[in-house]
Amino acid sequence: MKRIRVLALLLAMLLILATGCTQQTAQQGTNQEPPQNNTQQPPPQNDTQQPPPQSGGDTDTPGGWVAKFPVSKPVVINIIDVAGNAQLSQGAIDAFKEQHKEIVQDITLEKATAPELAAKIQAQQQAKNMDTTLIITGFDGLAACIDQDVLEQLMPAYKAEFQYIIDNYLPGAKDAYDLYDGYGIPTVFCPGGPMLTYNPDAVTTPIKTPQDLMDWAKANPNKFLYARPANSGPGRGFMMGLPYLLGDEDPKNPEKWDKTWAYLKELDQYIEYYPTGTGVTFKELGEGTRDMLASHLGWDMNQRILETIPDYYQGCFFDNQTFINDAHFAAIPKGLSDDVKNASLNLIDWLMQPDMQAITFDAGYFYPGPAIKGVTIDMAPAESRAQVSAAMRPEYEEAINKFANTSQLPPAELVKAYEMWDQMIGAGKFEVQ
């Protein structure tokens, strides 16, 4: 019996020892660290799509251009073009729309005439319904808008953003800028006129002086044509170039143009009518209705490139003339919301970048086109390089380098010159559109 009790006790002790070992083993297994994975895992991905950056400040966009004016949401820019500038800048505008969707939903472009511009903007402002957000105009429309006080004065208000443009202007573009007290930013530039484009089969001796032109017009009535100056860069250049050629007392003051007004009155006898647009004059030259017209460098080249007139038609300049420089301006009407105004200001800045300026060589319409320094024809698109190179003539480059040049009239004087021409020269022979 005693042996049985001893054996039972031993078995109990063995059972206790076995149970303890089992619990310790289980506890050790529970406290072990998980096995290490020696393959480094990538950081977790953020599946939340980030919104596009707000435009402005230091937003850097394709091509290295930085938007300077903050826009809280994309907007629609509505451009009114009274200068025919779309032919030069449409490619740059399209690129802005395509590359900067964080700024613009859409860009629309309306074409109108310079004389109707100021009244159109004024009507929108009075109705508090600003359809137009950006204006592209020549000297004519800009002068009228300043006279009616419908524009924002961009400089010096935006000196921090735009002064680099002013500092980089070609001399002629800078002169154009200086005329308008910061209300317009010149975006393209052309030496301009006066210049004559003619059919060499009909004009066998090139015109050298205003008297040569008068004598030819008298001998060939209704065969010479120029457009109403208020509607035409070449018409304006012809009118403003005569005071220098004829020796008027003050070429910058139309009320001192005694010789010019007398000359134009006499010439008027031999002119059938005055178109309210330059394109009509070239169309009639190409059709043979006219044999000679007032032109300027860009129009002469462009209309041969477009085959409106034959390629063999010629251009000439007056002896010792003064070029009346031409330019197109970007301007902002008063009454815009901050987002719309800032988007339009960003577009102006975009148009002044060298690669966008190179697009303005176009098909020679405003030759050369770029308003800033350092933009050369080799930077232009291949098609433009080919067209301009074929249309440029050595005597044109010689004239650009040889003749003096000057800016157009200041705003008040330009408006006065238009009024005087309309009353004294063109009355009854043009139709206001």
- We report the CATH number of the domain holding residue 321 as 3.40.190.10
* Inside any domain, residue 4: no
Residues 211 and 304 in one domain: yes
Secondary structure element (H or E) that encloses residue 99, with its range: helix 86-99
Residues 223 and 333 in one domain: no
Q: Give the predicted TM-score (pTM) of the model.
A: 0.79
Indicate whether 9 pLDDT > 50: no
Cα 359 from Cα 96, distance rounded (Å) = 13
Give the pLDDT mean for 291-301.
95
Query: How many C-beta atoms surround the C-beta of residue 134 within 10 A?
Result: 25
Query: pLDDT (tens digit, 9 = 90+) per residue, 105-154?
Result: 999 999 998 989 999 999 999 999 999 999 999 998 999 999 999 999 99
Mean of the per-residue pLDDT values of the chain: 87
Residues 146 and 207 in one domain: no
Give the pLDDT mean for 220-228.
98
* Inside any domain, residue 64: yes
Residues 410 and 275 in one domain: yes
Residues 311 and 332 in one domain: no
Residues 69 and 186 in one domain: yes
* Inside any domain, residue 70: yes
Residues 101 and 239 in one domain: no
Residues 313 and 407 in one domain: yes
Closest alpha carbon to 248 in 262, 227, 232, 233:
262
pLDDT at 26: 36
Any residues with CB less than 8 A from the CB of 252 and at least 6 apart, and which? 409, 410, 413
Query: pLDDT (tens digit, 9 = 90+) per residue, 56-71?
Result: 433 444 458 989 999 9
pLDDT at 15: 40
Are 55 and 70 a contacting pair, CB within 8 Å? yes
* Inside any domain, residue 161: yes
* Inside any domain, residue 429: no
- Classify strands 195-198 and 292-295 as parallel, antiparallel or unpaired: antiparallel
Indicate whether 223 pLDDT > 50: yes
Comparing 46-50, 140-144, 171-175, 205-209, the range with the smallest average pLDDT is 46-50
Residue 139 backbone zone (phi > 0: left; psi -120 to 50: alpha; other: beta): alpha
Indicate whether 302 pLDDT > 70: yes
Residues 319 and 410 in one domain: yes
Closest alpha carbon to 83 in 196, 226, 188:
188
Domain extent at residue 67: 60-191+327-382
* Inside any domain, residue 176: yes
Are 206 and 399 a contacting pair, CB within 8 Å? no
pLDDT at 431: 78
- Report CA-CA distances (Å) from 83 to 89, 117, 119, 283: 11, 11, 16, 18
Residues 108 and 205 in one domain: no
Residues 161 and 109 in one domain: yes
* Inside any domain, residue 185: yes
Q: How many domains does the chain fold into? A: 2
Indicate whether 34 pLDDT > 70: no
* Inside any domain, residue 50: no
Residues 75 and 149 in one domain: yes
DSSP one-letter code for 71: B
